[in-house]
Amino acid sequence: MMNRTALVLGATGLIGEQLVKLLLQSEEYVRVTALVRSPLPYSHPKLYTVIVDFARLEDFAEEIVGQDVFCCLGTTIVHGRSTAQIQADSSRQGCLCDVSDRREQTR
Protein backbone atom coordinates (compact mmCIF):
# COMPACT_ATOMS: atom_id res chain seq x y z
CA MET A 1 0.00 0.00 0.00
CA MET A 2 1.31 3.42 -0.98
CA ASN A 3 -0.59 5.73 1.40
CA ARG A 4 -1.20 8.38 -1.25
CA THR A 5 -3.95 11.00 -1.22
CA ALA A 6 -5.92 12.26 -4.21
CA LEU A 7 -7.83 15.47 -4.81
CA VAL A 8 -10.52 15.39 -7.52
CA LEU A 9 -12.33 18.39 -8.97
CA GLY A 10 -15.40 17.60 -11.04
CA ALA A 11 -16.22 14.31 -9.32
CA THR A 12 -19.90 14.45 -10.29
CA GLY A 13 -19.29 14.62 -14.03
CA LEU A 14 -19.03 11.80 -16.54
CA ILE A 15 -15.26 11.40 -16.28
CA GLY A 16 -14.83 12.52 -12.67
CA GLU A 17 -17.32 10.01 -11.31
CA GLN A 18 -15.55 7.11 -12.99
CA LEU A 19 -12.16 8.39 -11.83
CA VAL A 20 -13.28 8.65 -8.19
CA LYS A 21 -14.59 5.08 -8.26
CA LEU A 22 -11.26 3.85 -9.66
CA LEU A 23 -9.27 5.77 -7.06
CA LEU A 24 -11.43 4.39 -4.24
CA GLN A 25 -10.80 0.84 -5.47
CA SER A 26 -7.05 1.42 -5.73
CA GLU A 27 -4.81 0.19 -2.93
CA GLU A 28 -2.45 3.10 -3.65
CA TYR A 29 -4.85 5.67 -2.18
CA VAL A 30 -5.82 5.94 1.48
CA ARG A 31 -7.91 9.07 0.97
CA VAL A 32 -9.75 10.63 -1.96
CA THR A 33 -11.00 14.18 -1.50
CA ALA A 34 -13.71 15.27 -3.93
CA LEU A 35 -14.43 18.98 -4.32
CA VAL A 36 -18.01 19.16 -5.61
CA ARG A 37 -20.90 21.60 -6.00
CA SER A 38 -23.48 19.11 -4.74
CA PRO A 39 -23.29 15.94 -2.62
CA LEU A 40 -22.19 12.70 -4.20
CA PRO A 41 -24.85 9.96 -4.35
CA TYR A 42 -22.53 7.44 -2.68
CA SER A 43 -20.09 7.16 0.20
CA HIS A 44 -16.93 5.19 0.90
CA PRO A 45 -14.59 4.95 3.90
CA LYS A 46 -11.75 6.56 1.89
CA LEU A 47 -13.94 9.32 0.40
CA TYR A 48 -13.96 12.84 1.87
CA THR A 49 -16.45 15.10 0.11
CA VAL A 50 -16.22 18.89 0.30
CA ILE A 51 -19.05 20.97 -1.13
CA VAL A 52 -17.50 24.13 -2.56
CA ASP A 53 -18.33 27.21 -4.57
CA PHE A 54 -15.90 26.91 -7.47
CA ALA A 55 -16.08 30.67 -8.01
CA ARG A 56 -14.55 31.08 -4.53
CA LEU A 57 -12.01 28.25 -4.33
CA GLU A 58 -9.67 30.42 -2.27
CA ASP A 59 -12.20 30.16 0.59
CA PHE A 60 -11.57 26.40 0.68
CA ALA A 61 -7.76 26.52 0.71
CA GLU A 62 -7.51 24.26 3.77
CA GLU A 63 -9.42 21.55 1.90
CA ILE A 64 -7.21 21.68 -1.19
CA VAL A 65 -4.79 18.99 -0.14
CA GLY A 66 -3.63 15.96 -2.05
CA GLN A 67 -0.46 14.44 -3.39
CA ASP A 68 -2.15 13.76 -6.71
CA VAL A 69 -4.58 16.31 -8.17
CA PHE A 70 -7.08 15.36 -10.87
CA CYS A 71 -9.09 18.08 -12.58
CA CYS A 72 -12.19 16.79 -14.39
CA LEU A 73 -14.00 20.12 -14.60
CA GLY A 74 -15.80 20.91 -17.78
CA THR A 75 -19.01 20.70 -19.71
CA THR A 76 -19.63 17.70 -21.90
CA ILE A 77 -20.11 18.40 -25.58
CA VAL A 78 -23.66 16.99 -25.35
CA HIS A 79 -24.64 19.96 -23.21
CA GLY A 80 -22.86 22.41 -25.46
CA ARG A 81 -20.12 24.78 -24.41
CA SER A 82 -20.47 28.50 -24.51
CA THR A 83 -17.49 30.81 -24.45
CA ALA A 84 -18.44 31.76 -20.87
CA GLN A 85 -18.38 28.10 -19.78
CA ILE A 86 -14.98 27.52 -21.34
CA GLN A 87 -13.60 30.63 -19.62
CA ALA A 88 -15.12 29.58 -16.27
CA ASP A 89 -13.56 26.12 -16.52
CA SER A 90 -10.15 27.62 -17.31
CA SER A 91 -10.31 30.18 -14.51
CA ARG A 92 -11.26 27.51 -11.93
CA GLN A 93 -8.25 25.45 -12.88
CA GLY A 94 -6.02 28.50 -12.63
CA CYS A 95 -7.48 29.38 -9.24
CA LEU A 96 -6.80 25.86 -8.00
CA CYS A 97 -3.16 26.21 -9.01
CA ASP A 98 -2.90 29.61 -7.31
CA VAL A 99 -4.39 28.30 -4.05
CA SER A 100 -2.14 25.23 -4.12
CA ASP A 101 0.94 27.38 -4.74
CA ARG A 102 0.09 29.68 -1.79
CA ARG A 103 -0.39 26.66 0.51
CA GLU A 104 3.03 25.29 -0.49
CA GLN A 105 4.70 28.66 0.16
CA THR A 106 3.31 28.85 3.69
CA ARG A 107 4.54 25.40 4.70
- 10-residue mean pLDDT profile of the chain (107 residues): values are 86 92 96 91 95 82 83 67 54 49 44
Domains in the chain: how many in total? Answer: 1
The vertex-25 CA angle with 47 and 9, nearest 5°, equals: 45
> What pLDDT is stored for residue 13 in this prediction?
86
Nearest of 22, 17, 33 to residue 68 by alpha carbon: 33
- CATH number of the structural domain spanning residue 31: 3.40.50.720
Angle at 90 (CA atoms; ends 85, 91), nearest 5 degrees? 100
- Segments forming the whole domain that contains residue 27: 4-106
pLDDT at 26: 96
CB 7, CB 52: distance < 8 Å: no
* pTM of the predicted protein model: 0.72
